[in-house]
Amino acid sequence: MTFGARLDAAIRQWGPLCVGIDPHPELLARWGLTDTAESLVAFSDAVLEASAGSVAAVKPNAAFYERHGARGVAALEHTLKNAKEKGLLSILDVKRGDIGSTMEGYSDAYLAQGVPLEADAITVSPYLGFGSLRPAFELAAHTGKGVFVLALTSNPEGASVQHATDANGVSVARAIAEGAADLNAGATPMGSIGLVVGATVGDAVRELGIDLVAVNGPLLSPGVGAQGASPAEVAQVFGAVRSRVLVTQSRGILVAGPFVEKLRGAIQAAAGAAQYALGTVEAGE
């Protein structure tokens, strides 16, 4: 199965929540853990145990592992392997983006089959040109993996690049969305090239002329649910494609650790909030 088909099935079975695994120093301390590579393993294992059978996917943030050097990368390898063993789709948040053989190297590191850092999907940055990401797209198609391209993020700095337009008035974000649409054309139930779109970007999708229906791929979105975008705001951004939205939450869930049962409860609450925001359940269900 393609990544798009596997993710669609996971969302239908477990709902639209993706739990971010972000073992930053403040959270480790809150859990009573020291800031070491060994603690990353304990942290990640607890999050995965609480997530299994409850969510569609998990999203380890590579930065918090890499800061510990080789041992941290080994902890990330362990986390990705453990996620696979528990039947969880993994989206490795690495935001890679480069050209030529360097992009091929990044792609081989995460999207090839059987490599130590193998993930089901990765995040990538398109700001050396959407076409520069072709090695990742091609390898993902070959190995049944997914790629999420930064498109319309909600951080204040993002608009200066993403909203910029070319001589024909086409914004960078729209061009990225159209590139993904071309790669996903004809895929069912959806393609494997997704976009990262913040839930709090307001009316930017409409104002920039972005057709999310035509993208025909998954939309990875922070900022939905508890203390995030309201159902009305989510409808404003995603409209008819809310069934393709994968909501990512991390710190709001992870503060419930280190006990697995409390983490599981926080995950279930976040999942319910995400479903309500997306309009798939009524309040209180």
- With cut-offs at 50, 70 and 90, classify the pLDDT of residue 283: very low
81 occurs within a structural domain: yes
Averaged pLDDT, 184-205 = 96
Q: List the domain range (segments joined by +) for residue 270.
A: 3-278
- With cut-offs at 50, 70 and 90, classify the pLDDT of residue 214: very high
285 occurs within a structural domain: no
pLDDT of residue 228: 78
Tell whether the model's pLDDT for residue 284 goes beyond 60.
Answer: no
Q: Which of 59, 95, 145, 262 is catalytic?
A: 95
Identify whether 95 is a catalytic site residue: yes
37 occurs within a structural domain: yes
283 occurs within a structural domain: no
Number of structural domains (the chain) is: 1
Tell whether the model's pLDDT for residue 230 goes beyond 90.
Answer: no
284 occurs within a structural domain: no
SS (HEC) of 90-156: EEEEEEECCCHHHHHHHHHHHHCCCCCCCCCEEEECCCCCHHHHHHHHHHHHHHCCEEEEEEECCCC
CATH number reported for the structural domain that contains residue 10 in this entry: 3.20.20.70
